[in-house]
Every structure is written in C-alpha cells, then in structure tokens.
Amino acid sequence: MADEALFQFLHNEVIQYVYKSAENGEMENGRCVSKLEHLGFRVGQGLIERFTKDTSRFKDELDVMKFICKDYWTSVFKKQIDNLRTNHQGIYVLQDNKFRLLTQLSSGKQYLEHAPKYLAFACGLVRGGLSNLGVRSIVTAEVSVMPACDIRIMIKQVN
Amino acid sequence: MADEALFQFLHNEVIQYVYKSAENGEMENGRCVSKLEHLGFRVGQGLIERFTKDTSRFKDELDVMKFICKDYWTSVFKKQIDNLRTNHQGIYVLQDNKFRLLTQLSSGKQYLEHAPKYLAFACGLVRGGLSNLGVRSIVTAEVSVMPACDIRIMIKQVN
C-alpha cells in the first residue's frame, strides 16, 4: 500500500512540476507531455531489466507483448491488461478498463482533457520496456471514458 | 518489490530531470535541492494523511517524532530509524544507518558529493509529514559515511 501511494503521489507531483515549469516560461507547454514520456521511458528501461532477469527468452513479438500485458502491467499497475488486440502487422492495442493512474480522477467528462498528462508517463514506461527487449515502437494512449484507456503500440520495423 | 523499484527509478529520474533543467540554464543550480525538497514536501503531506487516518491522536511532539521514526519511515523506506536523539529543546536527530536511497550508490567517498541530491526529497517527505501533523520544522540531512545519514529536525516554535 505504502509504496503504491508513494509512487502515485510522486507521479502526481512530477506532473505538476513539469507543467509548472511550462507556466513559468521555462519550457514550452507542448514539451511537457514529451518530458513526462521520456521520464517514463527511462524508468521503463530500468524496470524491465529487473523484471526479466529470471525469465526465459521470448519466442516472438507477440510473446513480448503478452509479457507486457500480464507481468509488466501487473507489477506496475496492479492488474492485467483487459484486452489485447493486434492486426498482426505491427500494431497492438492494449485496453485497460480501469487504469490505475486515472482512477483517482473523477470519472465524469469534466477532467477528460487532463487525461493525457496522466498517460504520458505510462506510455513511456511501455516504450522503454519494449525498447530494452529489443522492440522499437511508438506508443500513444487514448481515453474515451474514464478510467478506461487504450494504449496503442506501433512497432517500428527495423530494416 | 515492483513498487519499490518503480519509486526508486522514478526518484532517480526526477533528480536527473531537475538537475538537467539547471544545466540547460532553465533554472539556477542552487534551486535544484529546494525543488526536490518541495516535491518531497508535497508527497509527504499526502502520505501522512493516508497513514494516520486510523491512528489515535498524538500525545505530544515526541510522540509524533516516534511515529515518524517507526511507522512513517518503515512505510516509505522499509526500515525503522536506527537512533533518535533529542536535546528536548526542539532539535531531533534521526539516524538511519542504511538509508534506502543511498544504498544504490557506492559506499566509498567517491560519490559523497552527490549525496545531497538523494537526500533532498527525503528531507521534504519528513517536513511535509510533520507539517500536516501540525509541527512546523526545518529539516536537513547529513552524510558522513555512506549509506548512513542523519536527518536533523529543528522545530519552529509557534509564538
């Protein structure tokens, strides 16, 4: 419990901090999301190294993705991804019906515009994790109804 | 385990982030420690509210301090404070012989100069926690031998 709260409070404060820097003119507003995403990326790189140190080698991309949906997501967000879809051409959509970092916000439409702030770090976590498993990707997130969210992963093909 | 790693990685990245802002000239170097301390303060305010919601009322200042040394410290840093000293005139020194946020650094003298970065957030956590328990204070930290640290709390007397 304690560590969960600790992470959530720190995460919230980091968001406030980054957006405050933008307000003070120390940074453009548009860079806030990418800054948060980058923080997530670095944390994700570290976490995945630790989480996979005893797992066997992954068979393929889908196997990696299943690991992200189950083990990785559960470790970080206390529940599995509810639904994983793919077009088998490098696009994956991970659906979380009750995303931990959004449950603290009201589920009305009122705060929907603030959702991206709370998703940027998570997108980075996924991208960083995948990156250290050798999968380069672009990760975005979308919220239509709080606190559900879709994480969309587009694999960058290495030629 | 996961949440602990998550917090530690995020904490490290936040430190990097804040110091990088300073390097880029977006902020003076001297403000980094106070920024980190402020982040800790806000997180501490949140945490203490959650941790104390079922505890009985504190008898006095020393009782508050014992709570910080035992329950609060254990929740956040996974161990109790090893030694609590006081001059009974508003100064308390909390000694942690193996401070969690320093154990990741080498215990040699080489990185001693970097210790303050890793202590600022913790000082804020203590000040924020105390503040929401009605105790205004100044909190500083000192490291002589890694990974031990002394947290020094000076109570501000309300006249």
pLDDT in tens, A104-124: 887 777 888 888 889 999 999
Q: Could you tell me which chain B residue has the CA closest to the CA of A52?
A: B2
What does the alpha-carbon distance between residue B97 and residue B92 come to, in Å, rounded to a whole number?
A: 16
Average pLDDT, rounded, for chain B: 89
A75 and chain B in contact, CB less than 8 A: yes
Q: What is the pLDDT of residue B146?
A: 84
**Angle, helices A2-23/A30-51, rounded to nearest 10 degrees:** 150
- Ranges of chain A with pLDDT below 70: 1-2, 25-29, 159
Question: Could you say which of A9, A26, A35 has the minimum Cβ distance to residue B43?
Answer: A9
- Does the beta-carbon distance from A6 to B50 stay under 8 Å? no
What does the alpha-carbon distance between residue B94 and residue B84 come to, in Å, rounded to a whole number?
A: 5
Residues in B touching A53 (Cβ below 8 Å): none
Q: What average pLDDT does the segment B48-53 reach?
A: 91
Closest Cα to residue A118, out of A28, A7, A3, A2? A7
ipTM over 0.95: no
A39 and chain B in contact, CB less than 8 A: yes
Domain count within chain A: 1
* Side-chain half-sphere CA neighbours of B98 within 13 A: 4
Residue A89: CB atoms within 10 Å: 8
User: Which residues are CB-neighbours of B44 under 8 A, at least 6 positions away?
Assistant: B124, B125, B126, B127, B128, B129, B130, B131, B132
| CATH number of the domain that residue B99 is part of | 3.30.1380.20
Q: Which of A35-44, A46-55, B23-32, B99-108 has the lowest mean pLDDT?
A: B23-32
Q: What is the pLDDT of residue B79?
A: 92
Q: Could you tell me which chain A residue has the CA closest to the CA of B35?
A: A17
Domain range spanning residue B42?
2-155
Would you say residue B1 has pLDDT above 60?
no
**Residue A121 burial (C-beta neighbours within 10 Å; 0-12, 13-18, 19+):** buried
Q: What is the pLDDT of residue B150?
A: 94
Among A26-30, B78-82, B142-146, the range of highest mean pLDDT: B78-82
Amino acid at B35: K
- Does the beta-carbon distance from A42 to B9 stay under 8 Å? yes
Amino acid at A18: V
Q: Could you tell me which chain B residue has the CA closest to the CA of A7?
A: B7
Q: What is the pLDDT of residue B64?
A: 93
Residues in B touching A51 (Cβ below 8 Å): 2
* Contact between B111 and B105 (Cβ < 8 Å): yes
- Does the beta-carbon distance from B5 to A42 stay under 8 Å? no
Residues in B touching A26 (Cβ below 8 Å): 21, 26-27
B110 and chain A in contact, CB less than 8 A: no
A2 and chain B in contact, CB less than 8 A: yes
A35 and chain B in contact, CB less than 8 A: yes
Q: What average pLDDT does the segment B16-21 reach?
A: 88
CA distance B18 to chain A (A): 10
Residues in B touching A47 (Cβ below 8 Å): 2, 5-6, 9
Would you say residue B2 has pLDDT above 70?
no
* Contact between A117 and A33 (Cβ < 8 Å): yes
Both structure tokens of A51: 């989480």
What does the alpha-carbon distance between residue A141 and residue B20 come to, in Å, rounded to a whole number?
A: 27
Amino acid at A101: L
Q: Look up residue B120 and give its DSSP letter.
A: H
The string of DSSP letters for A98-151 reads T-TTTTTS-SSSTTGGGHHHHHHHHHHHHHHHHHHTT--EEEEEE-SSTT-EEE
